[in-house]
Amino acid sequence: MSEVGLYLEDGTAWPGVSVAAPGAAVGEAVFTTAMTGYQEALTDPSYARQLLTFTAPMIGNYGIEDASSESRRVQATALICHEARNYKPNGREGLLDWLRASGVVALSGLDTRALVRHLRDRGAMLGVACGEGVSRGDALALLAAEPPMAGRLLAGEVSGELDGLPRTGARCHVVVLDYGAKASIVRLLEQAGAVVTVLPHDATAAEVDALAPDGVLLANGPGDPGSMDAHVAEVRAMVDQGRPLYGICLGHQLLGRALGLETFKLPFGHRGANHPVFESASGRVLVTSQNHGFAVRAPENGDGSLEVTHRSLYDGTVEGLRLCGRPVWSMQFHPEASPGPHDAREKLAEFVEACAGRAGENG
């Protein structure tokens, strides 16, 4: 007999109603505080292997539109919410129809306020979203077999979602390392004037160098950066190539490791569109969009060559790095902010400016 609901690895059960595809979905239970942008979040490859809980009370109240997706498919393993709607304004597809057609489990009617407090207190943990047609026993068996998020290398599961995007621009050539990149990152690079070439997550520094780009962007993506030693070695070699290098989210973490820092798993992560970050150079507080479960540990000592440029005002974690005297920097938050505020959106344009300057120097 099917018992619809969310079951967590600590033994707690959260009853709900199945509103999309039948079956069961297993992954890490996490939450986002973003009030809009459910389509962008669900299609963000960084949510791979995660059961995405929305703190916004109503989800699906403005439908689905093709231009808002961050990749070709739904990346989150399941949607969890308090109230799901299938509204279809102006002929748009409804959220629940879209999820059902995509084979994605969605649960509505949960007490998401209590669930989010639970995840904040206990930390993000594995869970299984049990929809129609699956017994509780079978769902719990799936949960028991699921490996933890720590130690998982997931970039290979989502890399390649951007193939086929139009390539335009003329000021410079940028290579994007696709660990699970969002489409809006590429769009903003192109709008700033870059020709973009997307390479898969396991591309080598030699393969990048063979393209002779003016700059390299290490994109976002899912999984534990601590499990990506081979990727870190390639990033270290890219740093030594001397061209502008910019890391976002997972790319920031990989760069941090390449520069000798450690990464660690946060208790419940930073996910949402309202995270305040202090920017040392300007003294500004940026309200940022974030989606990550791991962070870079701050350098304790050193020769002063590595600067922490941004810090979270929630927990003090490192949100930005710069290699002094070199065109190498990174940010843990998402400057493209899709969804989210645009406080940091100019950071991508600044990166293109640096790449364009190198292009000019090289004739």
Catalytic residue selected from 118, 231, 310, 334: 334
DSSP tally for the chain: helices H, then strands E: 10, 19
Distance (Å, rounded) from C-alpha 63 to C-alpha 91?
A: 9
Catalytic residue selected from 249, 252, 270, 310: 249
Distance (Å, rounded) from C-alpha 224 to C-alpha 124?
A: 14
3-state secondary structure 319-363: EEEEECCCCEEEECCECCCCCCCCCCCHHHHHHHHHHHHHHHHCC
The DSSP-derived string for 199-233 is EETT--HHHHHHT--SEEEE----S-GGG-HHHHH
Catalytic residue selected from 28, 40, 70, 336: 336
Contacts of 282 (CB under 8 A, 6+ apart): none
Instruction: Note whether 166 and 56 are within 8 A (CB).
Output: no
Distance (Å, rounded) from C-alpha 60 to C-alpha 37?
A: 10
Q: Specify whether 249 is catalytic.
A: yes
The DSSP-derived string for 2-69 is B--EEEETTS-EEE-EE-S--SEEEEEEEEE--SS-HHHHHT-GGGBTEEEEE-SSEE-TT-B-GGG-
Q: Specify whether 9 is catalytic.
A: no
Amino acid at 222: P
Q: Specify whether 336 is catalytic.
A: yes
Residues labelled as active-site residues? 249, 334, 336
